[in-house]
Amino acid sequence: MLRITVHLRDEWLLIPCTDPSLHVCWLGSEAISRYTTSYPKREIQADSTFRIRRCVDGGLLSLEDPIKDVLQDNDFIELVIQGDQWMPKQMDLIKSKSVHMSTCLFSMLKWISLDGNSLTTGDLLGLGKVIHLSEVLSSVMVYGVNTGFGNFAQTRIPNDQLKELQDNVIRSHSAGVGAPLSPERTRMLLALRINVLAKGFSGVSMETLNAIVAAFNASCLSWVPEQGTVGASGDLAPLAHLVLGLMGEGVMWSPQSGWADARAVLEGHGLTPLILKPKEGLALINGTQMITALGVEAVERAQAIARQADIIAALTIQTLKGTPKAFDPDIHAVRPQQGQVEVAWRLRSVLHSDVFHSEISVKGGERVQDAYTLRCCPQVHGVANDTIAFVKKILTTELNSATDNPLVFAERGITISGGNFHGEYPAKALDFLAIGVHELANISERRIERLCNPSLSELPAFLVKNGGLNSGFMIAHCTAAALVSENKVLCHPSSVDSLSTSAGTEDHVSMGGWAARKALRVVQHVEQVLAIELLAACQALEFHRPLKTTPPLEKVYGLVRSVVR
């Protein structure tokens, strides 16, 4: 039996072919049938005509040919419906010339300039399809070019061993452990490394950069273990693994191949392994890109959940018949912390007011004041928002910084060894992010307790009618409590630790890799706790029916009920 993978409108479909004597036309019809079954809202007319080509070389296939004559097991093909467009051919895009002294990231909808100066956290998280390069400055040979590395910096390497030196630094530094980064995170890591090289201070050849870009565009991504970096000299181990696959060693992943031998993956996409030139091995592995890439995902997700936290809290305040008086603008004007003012505004915009009326508030009356978990949302949520903004500023600078060593200053004609690879900036910022965003879960868990506790909520215990027969939200609240407790440990800052490495040469490090990884875990836990509060608040609202809350909060309730009964 042959297994053929078909690309159809941004989806990959695995089609088993038990009878290889069938024609290619059958393969296309089967792919369309499976696509429309899986995605019923994405209509394809039954009588649509289509064309098929191989992914590897773009060769068109005749629909009348027997499958066994033109395809092999595990081949990849692309099917295009009449009126649609083919995917761009990878190498054609790479070979085209740029009119700007910059790097550009191309998506099917827009170009994003990668000039080493203007990449944003949002750009990196929402990567486009294709990178396009123009020019990068070349290097003067010094540290890491014709010398050893770290404690061997004073050892000069003979000219006939310079290529071996670059290969060896990649192999020897590929010493990480643990689970691999996901393909999405590895893709971010690779794009960020290209952006840093585009600044022109690293000293790599266009031939090498074009090869890296070709791998990115084909989504040929190396196996990068998540553990092993101490965050100075940059993220050496993970970045070495990133380059090792590009050299055709170890394993790689692509949408077409899954995890497989790196050389086979590259060759299957018409690519050749990297051949490193002097300085290039060090230039490709010295920097803070893994800390920053993971940090970008953490801060973008934190920003999203922080905004959602305000709306979820408002729904809880409403179901507990809380008062909006504590969100009066005059209160926050006399303590004008930016995040606090913005959160109070968001709460006012969805709670009972002259603009939006709530039947629950009108009937239930108003208290003089509420518990802190309701009343102090602007103050607690606000500082989380300000923390996120601070961290985002630090990371945006880091995204567009030259963080390798040594750095090449071509206009001055010199190469200088420095310390921009040290990850203390993103490490400290991400430790701060974990502490700041955790508080959203901490206060949310206390609100869940108030919703579930009948002595505090005036609602049925654990938000269930038949208590005893059903446990309601009892254990959902336990889950929230468990996640918050885990976060308390994860919020211990990793950047307060430092262990000397490389025989005392690298005698202070940032531990930024762990700062980034645990910040992501904290954010994930915050998302989960707030999801539990959202479900509990919607359940609490059921006990106020037939009364309605404000129109904006009814919209939130309707959205939840569209996926959760």
Q: Which two tokens stand for residue 207?
A: 């031939």
Do the beta carbons of residue 289 and residue 189 sit within 8 Å? yes
Alpha-carbon span 491 to 494, nearest angstrom: 8
- C-alpha gyration radius of the chain: 28
Is the sign of the CA dihedral 254, 257, 261, 266 positive or negative?
negative
Report which DSSP code applies to 458: S
Neighbour count for residue 65 (Cβ, 10 Å): 14
Alpha-carbon span 290 to 273, nearest angstrom: 22
Contacts 24+ apart (CB under 8 A), 44-49: 44/81, 48/81, 48/82, 49/81, 49/82
Is the sign of the CA dihedral 186, 188, 190, 193 positive or negative?
negative
Alpha-carbon span 518 to 498, nearest angstrom: 17
Helices and strands per DSSP (H, E), number in the chain: 21, 15
Q: Which two tokens stand for residue 497?
A: 């630790």
Do the beta carbons of residue 313 and residue 347 sit within 8 Å? yes
Helix axes 338-350, 377-399, angle to 10 degrees: 120
Buried b (16+ CB within 10 A) or exposed e, 10-23: eeebebebeeeebb
Distances (CA, A) of 310 to 337, 347, 533: 16, 6, 12
Distances (CA, A) of 485 to 373, 441, 442, 473, 529: 18, 10, 9, 18, 11
Residue 130 DSSP SS3:
strand
Q: Annotated catalytic sites, by residue? A: 143
Do the beta carbons of residue 328 and residue 550 sit within 8 Å? no
Burial class (CB in 10 A: 0-12, 13-18, 19+), 552: middle
